[in-house]
Every structure is written in structure tokens, then in C-alpha cells.
Amino acid sequence: MSLTDALDVRAGEAAHLVFRRATVLDPVAGIDAVHDVVVRDGSIAALAAPGEAEAEGAEVVEAEGLHAFPAFFDPHVHLRTPGHEHKEDVETGTRAAAAGGYCGILAMANTQPPVSTAADVSALREQARASASVPVGFLATVTKAMQGSELTEMVELREAGAVGFSDDGLPIADAGVMRRALQYQHLCGGNIALHEEDPRLSRDGAMHEGPVSAALGIAGIPSVSESTMVARDAALAGYEGARIHVQHLSAAESVDAVRAAKAAGVQISAEASPHHLCLTDEAVRGLDPHRAKMNPPLREERDRQALIEGLRDGTIECIATDHAPHQPEEKDVPFEQAAMGVTGLETAFAALYTHLVAPGVIDLSLLVERMAGGAEPFDLERPSLAPGAEANVVLCDLGAEWTVGEDGYESRSANSWCAGETLTGRVLMTVAAGQVAFRLRSFSLGVAA
């Protein structure tokens, strides 16, 4: 399904744009050349020869030297609505997504109360139609109130429009409950996204278990807390012929488990988060909860390298931010007491471009492909720049340097893991579902002139 068919967004004016002489890169569609990109009536109308596109009635964006990619898709965002609107809501969270170059996001269900009934889903979809800058899909919880014991009414939730299911924030600790959910998926459909963690192994851990936790005296969350659950659920999914999506992989052993499951024919997809791809537990030494406290925790260099290898070989098909807004009073406390989670929507592309592409660790085309890879695991069309596709375009200046947070955030929260860092590569404009969802202020001034 296209993003507009499956997800909800505030209705607006269909853009009529020409991106003049943009460097167009869509590795999946096999496009890598300078074109005039014409957006009209919600679609990519044409990729014309540079300078040749008919611009009558269209806004012309001079894009020479700038890059146009398929806009990004994030399958893992916490919009905090309902219940924690002081951290984020549908309007601010989707504005942050648009500013990060996203044309679609999936919102997690661990709200207060959790999204567990058809009425919850319907209410959120209505909010999205009223205030979302980019299309949003809502996941519902797998178990009632995320208690991990009884399944939600998954058929009715799907009928109400739940894109899939997740108890994210918590694992489904009981293997028997997990198995029932996978069996039931044959009736209700919808992918099941899993936060993999064994609570008996994580206990009161607040960071990765290793030499750094030993030095800091902070209880550790061992890698096997995640990887044993990935292996368990891959085995269950294989046994039941069901489909799972593994969220925020952090440990090398987990990447191995996903790779082995794929080789064995299990229907399994996986995501990794920018902070796990860019940082290690060395970042925890500063004991700054704003930047370095999240679950799963930042792990060691060997884990980070394994995640990068997983991106390269396709074990990990997508990058997901796990955008998790928190207010200062939940972070201005000692590390062990602080809330878990960091924001990421507005910085994901630039951070990964700066940390991985610019130094030559991965190719730009791989990053662009993985940034939009989160749609397909949830049966959504991958954003594409092929003529005729729904218009989902992000325009980036790969030469621009900017300092995270210096102009504030679109998000209601400021707990960015890369706050204060100078990044290279900036999103200038985002077209989502045929509408202009974001323009960088300084850039739009330039366009007007």
C-alpha cells in the first residue's frame, strides 16, 4: 500500500515543484544522475534532463549541487500521545520527522494508557488527520496494557487501522504468549515488532555490561539479554511460519542471530538506530544521561562494527531512530535514575552521513537505501523517485555544516544524543505524500529571493 493509503496525514495542498538540476540518487530504482525532478498532483511527474523541465505554474527550486533522495521512513518513533504530551505529540513529532527528511513514520504504542483498543487507534488516526505533517501509522500493543500476559483484540485493531503490533518499551517475556501472538498473526495479519530483552538478565542494568560498566560501578545489561531473545523469537517465528521485525538491534550476537534466522528462511527483518551505529559505551563515561542513556544501551566497538556489517550485508534492512523524547526533569538526575531514550528524527541522516559516509565507512547509496528501508517490513511501499511514484522527496545539502540544537528543535524535547555536535549534511526540504512538509527557514528565504 502507498503511504497515503495506509497512513494518516493532515490534508493539504498538493505541491507543484521543479527541483532544477538536482543530483538524484535512488539506489533501489537505479537512478543516479542530475535531473530536473518534477512533482505534480502528488506524484513524481517526471525526471527531466537538467534545465529542461517545463516550469509553468510550478515553484522552481534551484537544486544545483544539492541531492534529492527518496524521503526517509522511520518505523520506530515515540510520539508520546496520549498521556505524555509534555514530551511530544503528533504535531511536534511529525514536524520533527519532516525536518529530518522523513515522509512517513510509525508510532509506538507504549503510551499512557497504551494503544490497546480500536478506540485508541481511531482517536490517534483522527489526531493525525488533523495535525500530522507527514503520514503516520500507529502500532497497537501485542498484549493488553503491555502486561505481557493476554493478547489484545488484534483483528479489531487491524480493522481500526493499526499498521502492526508492538509492546516496544518492554519485551514479551513469556515465550508462550509470544507464540500465541505469532499463531494469531495468521488471522489478523500485520507485522509484530519486538523489543528484545530478557528482563531476568537485564535486571536493574542501566548501561551495557563490560569494562566501562565495571569502571563506573553501574549495573550492566549484558549483550545476551538481547541476543537470546532474538534467537528465541526467530525460532518461534520459524516454527509458526510467522513474521517478526526485530527493533533496535544493539549487540553483535543479535546481528548473528538475525543473520542465521534469515539464512534458515525465517521471515524476519531488523532495524538499527543511529546512536548505536555512531557511538559506543565509551560515551557513557561522561555519565551524561541526556546523551548516553537509552535502552538498549550503547555497546562496544565490536558491536557497532557488527551493526555496520549487518547494514552492509542486508541483515539489517533499515535504520530506525527510536526517537524517544524526554523532558529535562527526567534527564537532569544522576545517570542511573534518568529516563531511557534519546531523540533522533531531526539528526539521523546528518549524523550517519557525518559518522559513516563522510569517513568512507559506508556508501551514500547504502545509507539512502537503509533510511527508507523501514516501510516494506510493514507492507508499505518503499519511497521512490521513479516517475509515477508517490512524491516523497528529501532535498539535502551534503556540504552544509550545522550544530545540533543551535536553532532549537521541532521536537518538544531536546534530549538529542548528538546535541552540540557539528554535523555535515543538512535536510533543506521534505516532500511527503505529495505535500511540502518541511523547508529549512534559511533555505526557503533563498528560494523566495
What contacts 278, CB < 8 A, 6 or more positions away? 304, 351, 352, 355, 356, 418
C-alpha–C-alpha distance, residues 330 and 323, integer Å: 16
Q: Which stretch, 30-38, 57-65, 185-193, 335-343, contacts other proteins (CB under 8 A)?
A: 335-343
359 binds other proteins (CB under 8 A): no
Total binding residues for other proteins by CB under 8 A? Answer: 21
Cα distances (Å, whole numbers) of residue 262 to 234, 259, 272, 320, 332: 9, 5, 16, 20, 42
- Which three cell numbers mark 328? 529535562
329 near other proteins, judged by CB under 8 A: yes
Is residue 215 a contact residue for other proteins (CB under 8 A)? yes
C-beta of 87: minimal distance to other proteins in Å? 17
CA nearest to 327, candidates 76, 88, 107: 88
Q: Tell me whether residue 216 or residue 340 sits nearer to other proteins (CB atom).
A: 216
Task: Collect all residues with Cβ–Cβ distance below 8 Å to 50 and sequence separation of at least 6.
Answer: 20, 21, 34, 35, 36
Q: Is 26 a catalytic residue?
A: no
Q: Which stretch binds other proteins (CB under 8 A): 301-309, 330-338, 345-353, 403-411?
A: 330-338
List 145, 214, 386, 445, residue binding other proteins (CB under 8 A): 214
Span near other proteins by CB under 8 A; candidates 19-27, 74-82, 107-115, 329-337: 329-337
**Among positions 63, 170, 212, 339, the unique one binding other proteins when judged by CB under 8 A:** 212
Instruction: Establish if 332 lies at the interface with other proteins (CB under 8 A).
Output: yes
Stretch that binds other proteins, among 175-183, 215-223, 373-381, 439-447 (CB under 8 A): 215-223
Q: Give yes or no for a cis peptide into 211 (omega within 30° of 0).
A: no
Question: Which run of H or of E encompasses 135?
Answer: none
Among 79, 181, 218, 352, binds other proteins (CB under 8 A): 218
Q: Least distance from C-beta 222 to other proteins, angstroms?
A: 8
Give yes or no for a contact between 114 and 141, defined as CB atoms under 8 angstroms apart: yes
Q: Which of residues 275-304 bind other proteins (CB under 8 A)?
A: 287
DSSP at 166: E
- Spell out the SS3 assignment of 64-130: CCCEEEECEEEEEECCCCCCCCCCCCHHHHHHHHHHCCEEEEEECCCCCCCCCCHHHHHHHHHHHHH
Select 91 or 209, whichever has its Cβ closest to other proteins. Answer: 209
Return d(Cα 348, Cα 384) in angstroms, integer.
19
Catalytic residue among 89, 233, 281, 322: 322
Nearer to other proteins, 226 or 410 (CB): 226
Bridge partners (DSSP) of residue 26 are: 31
Among 59, 309, 336, 379, binds other proteins (CB under 8 A): 336
**Binding site residues, other proteins, CB under 8 A:** 209-220, 222, 287, 329, 332-337
Positions annotated as catalytic residues are 322
